[in-house]
Amino acid sequence: MSKTWGYVRVSSFDQNEERQLRALHEKSILDNHIFIDKHS
């Protein structure tokens, strides 16, 4: 069984992960299969 994973990267203060998360959710990727990388 294959699983799809998502990756969100935010590299500046004016970026927001919400748009990227929305796009991944539209592809039916589950929250527990999404990695978020924030650089501050």
Q: What is the pLDDT of residue 37?
A: 93
Q: What is the pLDDT of residue 1?
A: 56
Residue 33: other Cβ atoms inside 10 A: 13
Give the pLDDT band (50/70/90) at residue 38.
Answer: confident
Is residue 15 pLDDT above 60, yes or no? yes
What spatial distance separates the first Cα and last Cα of the chain, rounded to whole Å? 36
Residue type, 1: M
d(CA 37, CA 12): 11
pTM: predicted TM-score of the whole model, two decimal places: 0.78
Q: What is the pLDDT of residue 28?
A: 94
Residue ranges covered by each domain of the chain: 6-38
Q: Could you list the active site residues?
A: 11
The mean pLDDT value for 2-6 works out to 87
